[in-house]
Chains A and B, each alone.
Chain A
């Protein structure tokens, strides 16, 4: 590199005009300011805590919690605070993951419906999106909880769906599959089916490569696997699973899966609210693929399905993924609104801990760390996925 600017010897610049010195100086002053601010806050905190008669101390995490938690993994009030907090973390994860799955499906449905050629379907989908994304989530959750779930009939007059699922004001009761002893035999069938599927997949892949034509790689593998699995299901002596139906015993339904009213209201609220945003993400992602791409694909002879799979989606997905990730993260963070209806998520349990022990600062710290870990891992995973598909796409 040729440098035309006159050479300046470092020694000749006075230090107050030397960029290198200034950089260090400026950053030093800035850091000093930040540290000073933190120090003042820390001093204030100690003073404030003294005023409240509290001392900072982390030992309480090992103490007996002594409060009950209405749902989650096995837990006893005699367990430690740490265990109680862990129950909350798992409850948050449970509602977030199920919520994300539901919201994605509902959102996809309405996002695609907004692009329908049918005016009525398009308009209904638009109305759905506008209605649910323009009303605060908290209001929706409280509405579902107090105006819908709490108004359901009582246990004796439960609404019954197909005789197996029951809904009442104490919760939602669904049949759950229970594995039996013949599950092992069926698993062998599944394994064999999987092997066959892999073999057929590779075979088909090779064939497509040889023909140099686009096509569906799992065209043979998928049906083969399904057929084997289905045959296995009927050939196994007995059934691999039995349905555990909820049944009225005493004052409530026993057996099967059950969701508490709090969980149900929170899940419905989160899923519907987020699905409205996901629908918009999907719609704008698909619309961002220019019309010419579609027309070009049709004119070189691709079928409608191939156009979607080979031309539109590969271009739409990289556009959809980043905003979709932030919607997922929003849903996970919004699950903290559970405190409004008393679902024991990590924030709710954290609050109980704070009220019982008075150690608000360490509890807030652990709550924030939990949320940050969730957010950062999700966004790291999504960034990795995003990098991968953008590399393939371009």
Chain B
């Protein structure tokens, strides 16, 4: 009897739960918070009212669907568009497999991605586009179920991701005259490619520079430090201008088009930042690791390859994601040089006499795309940070 009385459920005291209590705790707990809340509400009301009135009554959003293809791929020829879809399919298969294998964050992204494809297929688009979208969706779904639970496949899939980069480049470019010249790449496609190249190609350069900077041979250290600090001290746009005008001067006899010159400029720029990120990881490796490696008789190359780099690189993944986000935004600078990336397309659409005076609509759309990508990536990086337990070991 007594027992039962003791375990009797006790209700929480009145007035500690519920919406009213939450409002009181979070919005009206003190007199100045009440004042701030009211002020913020009034401001928000006017801001939203102004924006929504503009967006639904004055803005002419027709410009977006009319130029949608331009925004996505620029002047990539219509009859070769299957190349882009093939690239997307390769990524979809890898995405689906990874989602099945790892679950968690990758699965969430796969779900969002297939949601995007489904919605795209429902929009009033051409029949072929609808087919491609549904195909991508199917790819993700099928490979998800194929990959589920087969943990043995993991190293293969990682290899697949690394291999996918050159493969996709070849798919997008094709061969010779039958393919699509890099000068025809544009829109969001070009923005993404520039950012990915900036990270992937600059990665070996960055690791090499970081190791040089940590070297105990002064000549090597000084050369590397000079390079890194010089590049980090000047704005990206100067380097892009230099790439644009100086590469033809320094490399006479090679015909390097503007897109390639920008890729080279971005890689050299990004390499210096990558080096600093990797150096952060290298410095985080305790001395004991080096000493232990030496004690078991490993030489410098072995110590670096098998002991130091695997630990250092793991810990700099979040920093590299951060760098990727920054680079993704920075690729918009190529539009100053004259490339037609996402921002370049926006500029050219505004300059089109058919769509005069629609700056706000076009730029807001471009901003929304950039935002979606950057936000998704920073969300992912927070998740990776928690997964890796950075700063918790």
**Which residues in A have some Cβ–Cβ distance to B below 8 Å?**
23, 26-28, 30-31, 34, 41, 44-45, 47-49, 51-52, 116-121, 124, 130-131, 133-140, 142-143, 146-147, 150-151, 333-334, 336-337, 339-340, 347, 351, 354, 360-361, 364, 367-368, 371-372, 375-376
Contact = CB atoms under 8 A, between A and B. Distances in A.
Interface string B339-374: 000010011001000000001100110110011001
A142 B236 CA distance: 17
Contacts of A27: 217-220
B242 interface: yes
A367 B29 CA distance: 55
B52 interface: no
B217 A334 contact: no
A393 to B, nearest CB: 21
Given A134-B374, A375-B233, A143 B223 contact: no
B268 to A, nearest CB: 13
A142 B343 contact: yes
A120 B343 contact: no
Interface stretch (B61-69, B110-118, B244-252): B244-252
A136 B335 CA distance: 12
Given A360-B246, A361-B246, A118 B363 contact: no
25 contacts: A27-B218, A30-B219, A44-B250, A47-B252, A118-B26, A118-B40, A134-B374, A134-B378, A136-B332, A138-B335, A140-B367, A146-B363, A147-B359, A147-B363, A151-B359, A337-B333, A337-B336, A339-B237, A347-B237, A347-B241, A361-B246, A367-B234, A367-B238, A371-B235, A372-B234
A134 B237 contact: no
B213 to A, nearest CB: 13
The 3 residue pairs across chains A and B that have the minimum distance between CB atoms: A119-B26, A48-B249, A134-B374
B330 interface: yes
A117 B249 contact: no
A143 B230 contact: no
Contacts of B235: 333-334, 336-337, 347, 371
B363 A139 contact: yes
A30 B220 contact: yes
Interface of B: 26-27, 29-30, 33, 36-37, 40-41, 44, 217-220, 223, 230, 232-238, 241-242, 245-246, 248-252, 325, 329-330, 332-333, 335-336, 343, 346-347, 350, 359-360, 363-364, 366-367, 370-371, 374-375, 378
B363 A120 contact: no
Contacts of A143: 359-360, 363-364, 367
A52 B332 contact: no
Nearest to A49: B249
Contacts of A334: 235
A134 B363 contact: no
B234 A51 contact: no
A79 B121 CA distance: 62
A121 to B, nearest CB: 6
Contacts of B41: 120
B33 A138 contact: no
B29 A117 contact: yes
Given A117-B33, A339-B237, A364-B238, 15 more contacts: A48-B248, A118-B33, A119-B27, A120-B26, A120-B36, A120-B41, A134-B370, A134-B374, A135-B374, A139-B370, A146-B363, A347-B238, A361-B246, A372-B230, A376-B233
A138 B336 contact: yes
A351 B235 CA distance: 14
Contacts of A118: 26-27, 29, 33, 36-37, 40
Nearest to A124: B40
Nearest to A329: B233
Contacts of A376: 233
Contact of A135 (B219, B234, B370): B370
A299 B27 CA distance: 27
Nearest to B331: A136
A225 to B, nearest CB: 29
Contacts of B238: 336, 347, 364, 367-368, 371
B107 to A, nearest CB: 23
Given A120-B41, A134-B378, A339 B336 contact: yes
Nearest to A26: B217
Contacts of A44: 249-252
Contacts of A354: 245
Contacts of B241: 347, 351, 364
Contacts of B350: 146
A41 B250 CA distance: 6
Contacts of A347: 235, 237-238, 241
Nearest to B43: A124
B82 to A, nearest CB: 30
B120 to A, nearest CB: 22
Q: With a 10 A CB-CB cut-off, give which of A118, A147, A151 has the most chain B CB atoms.
A: A118
A138 B359 CA distance: 14
A120 B40 contact: yes
A111 B366 CA distance: 27
Contacts of B374: 133-135
A120 B347 CA distance: 36
Nearest to B232: A375
Given A120-B41, A130-B375, A368-B230, A52 B329 contact: no
Contact of B336 (A41, A45, A146, A340): A340
A130 B359 CA distance: 22
Contacts of A120: 26-27, 36-37, 40-41
Contacts of B236: 333
A119 B25 CA distance: 9
A55 to B, nearest CB: 13
A31 to B, nearest CB: 5
Contacts of A340: 336
Contact of B40 (A49, A121, A130): A121
Nearest to B252: A48
A124 B43 CA distance: 11
A117 B350 CA distance: 44
Contacts of A151: 359
Contacts of B359: 143, 146-147, 150-151
Contacts of A150: 359
A47 B374 CA distance: 43
A137 B329 contact: yes
Contact of A138 (B223, B232, B246, B332): B332
Contacts of B249: 44-45, 48-49, 52, 360-361
Contacts of B26: 117-120
Quick one: which of A139, A147, A371, A375 has the most chain B CB within 10 A? A139
Contacts of B217: 23, 26-27, 30
A351 B219 CA distance: 35
A371 B343 contact: no
A376 B233 CA distance: 8
A30 B237 contact: no
Contacts of A138: 332-333, 335-336, 343
